[in-house]
Structure 1
Amino acid sequence: MKTRLNCPCGETIAGTDEDELVTKTQVHLKENHPGHEYSREEILFIAY
């Protein structure tokens, strides 16, 4: 199960499971990188 992701901006995003990681990543993108939206599959592809 992947629970961490390093955003190119330098922020590390962590969740307790893949669902939480995807949600947190999507919130981070919306708040910090408007216009950059990624699907669940794309987020999990770059997560570890």
Structure 2
Amino acid sequence: MAVRLNCPCGEFIEGADEDELVEKTQTHLAENHPGHEYTRDQILFLAY
């Protein structure tokens, strides 16, 4: 199960499970990268 992701900005995002990872990543994107929206599948593709 992929639960970690490194954003190109240098932010490390980690979730307890895939749902939490997706939620945290979408929150990070909204707060730090307005206009950059990714689907659940796109986020999980980048996760490890």
Q: Report the secondary structure of 1:13's partner residue.
A: strand
Quote the residue 1:47 is aligned against.
47
Q: For the residues of structure 2 that align with 1:35 and 1:11, how far apart are their CA atoms?
A: 17
Unpaired runs of 5+ in structure 1? none
Map residues 4-23 of structure 1 onto 2, 5 A cutoff: 4-23=4-23
Quote the residue 1:38 is aligned against.
38
Q: For the residues of structure 1 that align with 2:42 and 2:18, how far apart are their CA atoms?
A: 12
Alignment TM-score, normalising by the size of structure 2:
0.99
Report runs of 4+ in structure 1 exceeding 4 Å deviation: none
Alignment TM-score, normalising by the size of structure 1:
0.99
Unpaired runs of 5+ in structure 2? none
CA positional deviation for 1:7? 0.1
- State the identity as a percent: 75
